[in-house]
Structure 1
Amino acid sequence: MPHATGPEPQPPRPEDRAPEDRPPEGMATQAPAPGDLAPETLLPDELLATFRERAAGYDRQNRFFDEDFADLVRIGYPLMLVPRDRGGLGFTLQQAVAAQRRLAAAAPATALGINMHHVLVGVAHTLRLRGDARADRIFEQAAAGEIFAFGISEAGNDSVLFDADTTAVAAEDGYRITGTKIFTSLSPVWTRLIVHARDDAEGRTPLVFGFLDRAAEGIEVLDDWDTLGMRASQSRTTVLRSVPMPADQVLTRTPVGPNPDPVVWGVFGCFELLLAAVYTGIADRAVELAVEIAGTRRARGGGAPRAEHPDVRWQIAEAALLRDGVELQLLRLTADVDALGTAGAPDHGPRWFLLFSGVKHRATEAAREVVDLALRTAGGAQYSRGRELERLYRDVLAGIYHPSDSESVHAAVAKALLGPIGG
């Protein structure tokens, strides 16, 4: 894969964007009516058809979804989880998940890319529900047009959120961050990057979480995204060389290992639930395509459509059953998160992390099986490059690499049920 020889050209700052690319004006003073909060209203069928048509070209050319991104900004999509009184659309997490599922059914890589922005605004959503003032700074930046990206993954770091190879060195006003982050979605357009890094100075709590400004010195984005699927997400490698993290952009410090810190909890939960939404959206589209193709495909010489063949009917029904099971889990768990801070909030305790990782695992595995079943019913024509099911088959495979992966999910559940090995 080619690497850039220097820093990539910087994306425009929010105030420098063309008027048509800025968040819609007046959102802070003119909140949408309750009926306008439906994902179907925000993402009408006509717009999704345009996204679906573009998706094949983005995939073929291995380029970022620039036009989709401009359209999403135009409709205020990055502001879904920002409260209406703070300039946003005031979605609940459950509504945001429904919208992401709808977007993913049209353009999976577009949904996966913008997902990472929603994860960070989702953290603010959960902080606000807890009455935590740290939500305010995230909402303020999002409403000003900042685009957040996710700089947590590191090559070989199986602990993901709970430890870091990237280092944080205390500076006069905050920290200097050095390390390499992989799978940084939205690489061409992000303006704020959340990272975690390890500060091993004696007497300090080791892990630092906070935001970096895209315009800061020491950031290099490599042009190294040339993958099997999810190509338009452009989730490139980001190299950090003593990048300043101002003190006012530090969100939290935590010990190494799983812990209930509200920021870490929010990142973990929103990441897993929004990922599950994207892959469930892929499953939605695969079932839809399987039904369409079965209804029109006939054996040579005529005869009944494939939709009347018993094996085809069983396979499509099985695909729908798998998809429906994940849908119900997503509805329940997002409702539980949205209930934080209320008298009816569930107390899952340490099981929260198992529930979050479990629904992501089931969603990605179910989506893979659904797409496989759809391909089996659709015939060999869908094996050709450029067919939508062929692209969905490649896109859905990315789900096995997102944390929490299958191995870590099973290890965590086994530990909860059986205790630690050797314990």
Structure 2
Amino acid sequence: MGNGLFLQNERQHQLYDRASQLADQIKPFAKESDKKGQLAEEIIQQLKNNHYLSMTLPEEYGGEHLSLYEWLVMQEKIAEGDGATALSVGWHLGIIMELRDEHKWTEENFEFLAREVSKQKLVNRASTERNTGSPTRGGRPETTAIWDGQGYILNGRKTFTTLASHLDYAIVSAYIEDDDQVGSFLVDMNNLGVSVDRTWDTLGMRGTGSDDLVLQDVRVKQERLVERKSGKRSGPKGWLLHIPACYLGIASAATREAVEFSKSFQPNSLDHTISKEHHIREKIGEMEMLLMRSRHLLYRVAEKWDQYPERRPELMSSLAVAKVSVTNDAQKIVDLAMRVSGGRGLSKDALFEKYYRDVRAGLHNPPMDDMVLEQFAKDLLDD
């Protein structure tokens, strides 16, 4: 196991083994997903066949009520098979974990969604818009919800809607004009007026298929207004650690690939493989050190989250540090892997260049580096 990943009991060992098998099952289809800019149907089917989409549900709904630590163990391993798959399904499972633990919805609405997810249905939030950017930056959504006496009529366009073409439900943020308030609606993707605009064409994480969600006069029942935004600052969200876990998994896969490459590649200028060269060994050693450091940080924070639920508000800074530190370490690890592979790493026939492109996306997932660093500076410098 190594590299700072501590499996503490038999259940965690079993979950790790299940994630390893799932990673092996999805890996053959990762290249197709990357090429098409959509998660391959075979990957979606494997996730469903393995009942992975319901893992964070409470047991009474057919889930396995994963702790944060357990879930990150699985997410990191799946990311070794394909980072885009891990990041995509991470949003779905994280939302379920958040709703499960924070009781943000009415019992009726949560039960409805839980029953659907137990059937391996997919859900994601649709909150980002072209003019407002990430919801973590603030900004009122331009998507509107207007009450017509019988229900709400939604109009708008959402960007970065991960797995848009595969979703069964979307939790859509909108400005409720009658109430002068922002709320979120649970929208069935089969509703009339819901469509997906295939806009996703990016450098990395192409397989997430994060296309635009378009809503044109979409009618939603009153009871599907599932959340209203309060003026209070939101608390810490441990489930967002699925983001650094994903990029750590990519870095781990890149390290393994670099080790295998260095042990097998022997240019005719040497009488041994490059694994005997000092500068290669130094790079491999640094990659291993960064992996170990990142895992210690990530899983220690997750462990605290699970063990001391009453102290979770105190972990806000630790969660932010874990995300920023681990994703930046992952960048360094994959860069070192590219240096080990040399020009061959740029080939589309190799895995290195895909790791290099995918890991870059971690800098643009919340919380962003600048926001975290500014908050720390504010705490220290502003009276």
Query: Which bin holds the TM-score, normalised by the shorter protein?
Result: 0.7 to 0.9
- Equivalent residues of 1:126, 1:337 under 8 A apart: no
What's the secondary structure of 2:158's corresponding residue?
Answer: strand
Q: Structure 1 residues 291 and 319, CA, compared in 2 at 3 Å: closer, same or farther?
A: same
Q: Structure 1 residues 37 and 250, CA, compared in 2 at 3 Å: closer, same or farther?
A: farther
92-101 or 291-300, larger mean C-alpha shift: 291-300
CA offset at residue 90 of structure 1?
A: 2.8
CA offset at residue 219 of structure 1?
A: 1.6
- Which of 16, 19, 25 aligns to 1:40? It is 16
Measure the CA separation in 2 of the matches of 1:63 and 1:124.
27
What's the secondary structure of 1:172's corresponding residue?
Answer: coil
Give the counterpart letter for 1:167 in structure 2. T
Residues 235-250 of structure 1 aligned to structure 2 (within 5 Å): 235-250=210-225
Q: How many pairs does the alignment contain? A: 371
Unaligned runs of 5+ in 1: 1-33
Measure the CA separation in 1 of the matches of 2:111 and 2:293.
36
Residues 2-81 of structure 1 aligned to structure 2 (within 5 Å): 35=11, 38-45=14-21, 47-81=22-56
- Equivalent residues of 2:287, 2:336 under 8 A apart: yes
What's the secondary structure of 1:216's corresponding residue?
Answer: coil
Residues 4-403 of structure 1 aligned to structure 2 (within 5 Å): 35=11, 38-45=14-21, 47-127=22-102, 133=107, 135-158=110-133, 160-161=135-136, 162-165=138-141, 166-172=143-149, 175-201=152-178, 206-255=181-230, 258-260=233-235, 265=236, 268-270=237-239, 272-339=240-307, 344-345=308-309, 347-349=311-313, 351-403=314-366
Offset from partner CA, 1:358-379 (integer Å, 9 cap, x none): 3222222111111001111122
Offset from partner CA, 1:334-355 (integer Å, 9 cap, x none): 223334xxxx435253x54433
Percent identity for Structure 1 against Structure 2: 24
Match for residue 408 of structure 1? 371
Measure the CA separation in 1 of the matches of 2:106 and 2:189.
26
Give the counterpart letter for 1:193 in structure 2. A
Measure the CA separation in 2 of the matches of 1:328 and 1:247.
46
User: TM-score, normalized by length of structure 1?
Assistant: 0.80
Measure the CA separation in 2 of the matches of 1:358 and 1:135.
31
CA offset at residue 382 of structure 1?
A: 1.3
Q: Which has the higher helix share?
A: 2
User: TM-score, normalized by length of structure 2?
Assistant: 0.87
Match for residue 20 of structure 1? none
- Equivalent residues of 1:169, 1:176 under 8 A apart: yes
- Equivalent residues of 2:128, 2:160 under 8 A apart: yes
- Equivalent residues of 1:164, 1:196 under 8 A apart: no
CA offset at residue 403 of structure 1?
A: 2.2
CA offset at residue 173 of structure 1?
A: 5.0
